[in-house]
Amino acid sequence: MSDTPHRTSYDAALDAVRGYAHSDAVAVREALAGLDARSWTEVYDVLGGLLRSTIGIMELTGRHWKLDDLVRCTDGVSAAAPPHYEFAMAEATRAWARGDQSVMRAFSGRDIQGAAHMSAIGVAVLGLALWGRSGLLAVLEEFRAAADTLAHDPSTGA
Cα torsion through 10, 132, 21, 43, rounded to 10: 20
pLDDT at 143: 87
Instruction: Flag whether pLDDT at 61 surpasses 80.
Output: yes
Amino acid at 142: E
pLDDT at 1: 41
pLDDT at 21: 96
What does the alpha-carbon distance between residue 21 and residue 78 come to, in Å, rounded to a whole number?
10
The stretch 130-145 carries a mean pLDDT of: 92
The stretch 27-55 carries a mean pLDDT of: 94
What does the alpha-carbon distance between residue 14 and residue 106 come to, in Å, rounded to a whole number?
24
Q: What is the pTM of this model?
A: 0.86
Instruction: Flag whether pLDDT at 3 surpasses 60.
Output: no
What is the CA 103 to chain-centroid distance, rounded?
18
Instruction: Flag whether pLDDT at 121 surpasses 90.
Output: yes
Which spans in the chain are helix H?
9-21, 25-32, 37-61, 67-78, 83-97, 102-110, 112-152
Q: Which of 145, 146, 126 is nearest to 20 (CA)?
A: 126
What does the alpha-carbon distance between residue 126 and residue 96 come to, in Å, rounded to a whole number?
14
What does the alpha-carbon distance between residue 51 and residue 24 come to, in Å, rounded to a whole number?
20
What does the alpha-carbon distance between residue 113 and residue 50 come to, in Å, rounded to a whole number?
16
Task: Decide: residue 134, CB within 10 A, 0-12 exposed, 13-18 middle, 19+ buried.
Answer: exposed
pLDDT in tens, 72-112: 888 999 999 998 888 888 888 788 777 787 776 666 667 89
For the chain, the structural domain boundaries read 9-149
User: Is 129 within 8 Å of 61 (Cβ atoms)?
Assistant: no
